């Protein structure tokens, strides 16, 4: 990519898309095509094709998706597979038809089998059954990876795929009903502190291990790979380190300044015992994360406080 390249970021309002936009702006890129979901419905094939014919982007970051937590994934199973497949099919195919130089498709770590060995290596894809609660979403993301591979082998398209670990950071979702664990903890501890509560009740035992990557590091990796990688294989993006939910809760509690107790509700499920990415392929290309978890949580909490009044409306 050069500084005048025409770059389309699909999903630029989301956590990952906005981080990619910030990263590119910092590097001096300025020729962006940005459309909100209201301005361009990526599920609409004719609208997407007309957009690509008119704009002719050189590079595409496909960060747009219908996303949610376990409850949303399990409740709206048809919506998750249909909408994500439609978005991917339309953007990837239109990119091929309109001569896009390079496309990056962003997937999710839920593509891996539920009982895959840890840490998760790229070659474990399609070696076992998926986690049932988010299977439709995972199947859509697997289809996106395979679509990029197929367009590369049949048409010679430079379409690459990346699989991020659990992400957090600016523009995260803090809704307690469908957010992921880290933003949910930030909001729970903050509101408990605000309301002088004596305790915060959290699900399960706190024993599961999870990996977390700041969105700005994710964006840094995406831009690095867009400029330095053109292989047919997808790549994991993560830190290569995990932390127990119990230790994570203590870290968030300390960052927020909550002084009460943490109570673990053992009647609630723990979920998958461990979910850690193998990032040796990414490291071998020369990329490594920069923002450690404690610093990242402090940054995320500052962003949460800045936007908290909007969250309550």
Q: By the 8 A CB rule, do 135 and 84 touch?
A: no
The stretches of 178-214 forming alpha helices (DSSP H) are 181-194
Radius of gyration of the chain (CA): 19
3-state class of 261 per DSSP? strand
**Is pLDDT of 74 > 60?**
yes
Nearest residue to 252 via CA among 299, 304, 182, 167: 182
Among residues 137, 151, 229, 301, the one annotated as catalytic is 137
Does 270 belong to an annotated binding site? Answer: yes
Q: Which residue has the higher pLDDT, 245 or 133?
A: 245
**Is pLDDT of 56 > 90?**
yes
**Is pLDDT of 69 > 90?**
no
124 is catalytic: no
Q: What would the mean pLDDT of 101-121 be, rounded to a whole number?
A: 95
Q: What would the mean pLDDT of 142-169 be, rounded to a whole number?
A: 97
* Measured distance CA(207)–CA(210) in Å, rounded: 10
**Is pLDDT of 282 > 90?**
yes
Q: Beta partners for 120?
A: 277
**Is pLDDT of 251 > 70?**
yes
Q: By the 8 A CB rule, do 189 and 256 touch?
A: yes
The pairing of beta strand 199-203 with beta strand 166-168? unpaired
**Is pLDDT of 173 > 80?**
yes
* Measured distance CA(139)–CA(141) in Å, rounded: 5
Does 95 belong to an annotated binding site? Answer: no
With tokens 């005048």, the residue in question is 4
Q: What secondary structure letter does DSSP report for 111?
A: G
Q: What would the mean pLDDT of 168-194 be, rounded to a whole number?
A: 91
Does 165 belong to an annotated binding site? Answer: yes
Mean pLDDT, the chain, whole residue set = 95
pLDDT at residue 313, rounded to an integer: 53
* Measured distance CA(267)–CA(201) in Å, rounded: 12
pLDDT digits (tens, 9 = 90+) for 87-109: 999 999 999 999 999 999 999 98
Please state, for a pLDDT cut of 70, what percent of the chain lies above it. Answer: 99
Q: By the 8 A CB rule, do 125 and 145 touch?
A: yes
**Is pLDDT of 312 > 70?**
no
Within 10 angstroms of residue 6's Cβ, the number of other Cβ atoms is 17
Domains of the chain: 7-170+213-240+276-291 (3.40.50.720)
């Amino acid at each position: 990519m050069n500084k005048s390249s025409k770059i389309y970021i699909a999903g630029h309002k989301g956590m990952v898309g906005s981080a990619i936009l910030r990263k590119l702006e910092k590097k001096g890129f300025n020729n962006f095509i940005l459309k909100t979901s209201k301005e361009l419905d990526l599920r609409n094939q004719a609208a997407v094709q007309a957009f690509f014919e008119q704009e002719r982007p050189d590079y595409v970051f496909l960060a747009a998706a219908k996303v949610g937590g376990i409850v949303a994934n399990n409740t709206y199973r048809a919506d998750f597979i249909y909408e994500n497949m439609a978005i991917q099919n339309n953007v990837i195919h239109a990119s091929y038809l309109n001569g896009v130089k390079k496309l990056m498709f962003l997937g999710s770590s839920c593509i891996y089998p539920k009982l895959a060995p840890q840490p998760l290596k790229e070659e474990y894809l399609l070696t076992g059954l998926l986690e049932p609660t988010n299977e439709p979403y995972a199947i859509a993301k697997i289809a996106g990876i395979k679509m990029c591979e197929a367009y590369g082998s049949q048409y010679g398209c430079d379409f690459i795929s990346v699989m991020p670990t659990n992400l957090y950071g600016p523009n995260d979702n803090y809704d307690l009903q469908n957010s992921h664990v880290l933003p949910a903890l930030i909001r729970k501890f903050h509101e408990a502190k605000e309301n002088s509560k004596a305790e915060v009740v959290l699900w399960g035992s706190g024993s599961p291990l999870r990996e977390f990557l700041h969105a700005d590091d994710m964006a840094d990796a995406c831009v690095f790979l867009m400029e330095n990688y053109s292989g047919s294989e997808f790549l994991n993006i993560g830190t290569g380190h995990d932390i127990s939910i119990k230790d994570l809760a203590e870290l968030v509690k300390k960052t927020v300044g909550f002084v009460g107790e943490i109570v673990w509700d053992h009647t609630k499920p723990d979920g998958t015992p461990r979910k850690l990415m193998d990032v040796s392929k990414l490291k071998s290309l020369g990329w490594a994360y920069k923002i450690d978890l404690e610093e990242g949580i402090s940054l995320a909490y500052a962003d949460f406080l800045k936007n908290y009044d909007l969250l309550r409306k």
